[in-house]
Amino acid sequence: MRAQLMRRTLPSLVLGLLFLSTPAMGSCLDKYQELLAQLQKQADIMQRTSLLLDPYIQSQGLDKDGLKEHCRERPGAFPSRDALQGLGRWEFLRTLDTTLGRVLHRLTALQRDIPKAQDLETLNRAKQNIRGFKNNIHCMAQLLPGSSETTEPTPTDPGTSPSPTPTSDTFQRRLEGCRFLHGYHRFMHSVGQVFREWGESPSRSRRHSPHQGLWKGTRRMQLSRKNKRLLPRGQLPR
């Protein structure tokens, strides 16, 4: 039990330390490679099923033969690895940000079915990690070439984020939650791979699309001049 707790807690602590080096709101890490490495590490940690999926399966009694097999990601619930790899960097970051926003809302809905305080704490830590990751995505978006506008960083408090309407059938909701978490970890695994590819080919940008069009319909934020001055344009891969 203690080992299990350690297995759950340790990655969260590591993530917490990683986020400590990430300026939360307003200021970003301005070194591309460092930020990229940080995103990779975060993605690597967030893909671990011991953070969310395993405790969920155990608390919901889904760790039985015949049930576990149905705890698989529903096709289309999350972008596939190929789809992510096929995106340009701007599109990739935007997709990542949007998807993680959905994940946050869904995790909030899942809280209702988790009775144990320990599991709730695990869930809340995971949500904090996602928020931190989204902030880093925002920072990365600023470092991409030609960035003059990007998404708004995730607020610390989810506030009035709408929760998806839960299914009234508890069993079905339980399975869906399990599938969702499975997909989430798989998605983060793919995200880590894409970020790794960024590091391997820093000058290559897939299907670089004019980002102005891609961000249509999303909230935009004009960076402050102070922030712009901090951007080390010369270091970025062109």
Is 109 or 221 the residue whose CB approaches other proteins more closely?
109
Q: How far is the CB of 105 from other proteins (least distance, A)?
A: 20
Q: How far is the CB of 77 from other proteins (least distance, A)?
A: 17
**Residue 179: how many other CB atoms lie within 10 Å:** 17
Cβ neighbors of 99 (< 8 A, separation 6 or more) are 78, 79, 187
Is 66 or 76 the residue whose CB approaches other proteins more closely?
66
| Contact between 119 and 55 (Cβ < 8 Å) | yes
Q: How far is the CB of 69 from other proteins (least distance, A)?
A: 8
Is 59 or 136 the residue whose CB approaches other proteins more closely?
59
Q: How far is the CB of 72 from other proteins (least distance, A)?
A: 11
Burial class (CB in 10 A: 0-12, 13-18, 19+), 124: middle
The site for other proteins (CB under 8 A) is made up of 59-62, 64-67, 69-70, 112-116, 168-172, 174-175
Is 30 or 113 the residue whose CB approaches other proteins more closely?
113
Kindly tell me the sign of the dihedral angle through the C-alpha atoms of 127, 81, 74, 44: negative
